[in-house]
Structure 1
Amino acid sequence: MLALTAETARRSRAYRAFKLDRAGRVASAELVAAEDDSHARRQVRAMVQHGTIELWERTRFLGRFEPAPKGRN
């Protein structure tokens, strides 16, 4: 989990990464501090391993990220 300090908050925006279960329901959420949307997307892509993650900034949907199919590098 990310701890936002005053300095991080000044130069970053807070995004939320929602990890979904197999039924598509939110299983957990994590704060993602990023300078912009592209930076947030890169961070979430790095987090995706075993399940789907949706990235949001407040009420703005930024994308759904899924792990690569097995057998692909």
Structure 2
Amino acid sequence: MMQQAIRQESRQEANYIVYILDGVGKIRGAEWIAACDDADAMAQARRLNLSTQCELWQRTRKISRLAPAADD
């Protein structure tokens, strides 16, 4: 009887960048994120709880502009 190898599919992560913007929309910093997809990257970016506007990018593709985290 021939045994079949069970192949586990690994989710390949992509690199994303959260650009932190100043009051006039210029980049003042960045955070790098490794995520499985756009939704995962968005969730990670939101967990950063940044207090200023940000943009999430994957290479040259803009994913979203994020508003500052609300104070609880």
State the shift of 1:46 in Å. Answer: 1.4
Gaps of 5+ in 2: 1-10
Moved over 3 A (4+): none
Q: Number of aligned pairs? A: 62
Unpaired runs of 5+ residues, structure 1, are 1-9
Q: Specify the SS of the correspondent of 1:23.
A: coil
Pairwise CA distance, 1:64: 0.4
Whose Rg is larger? 2
Matched, 1:63 2:30: no
Distance 2:61 2:49 in 1: 20
- Partners of 2:61 and 2:22 in 1: how far apart? 21
| Structure (1/2) with the larger helix percentage | 1
TM-score (norm 1): 0.74
- Retained in 1: the 8 A contact 2:46–2:69? no
Match of 1:40?
Answer: 41
Normalising by structure 2, report the TM-score.
Answer: 0.75
User: 1:21 Cα shift?
Assistant: 0.5
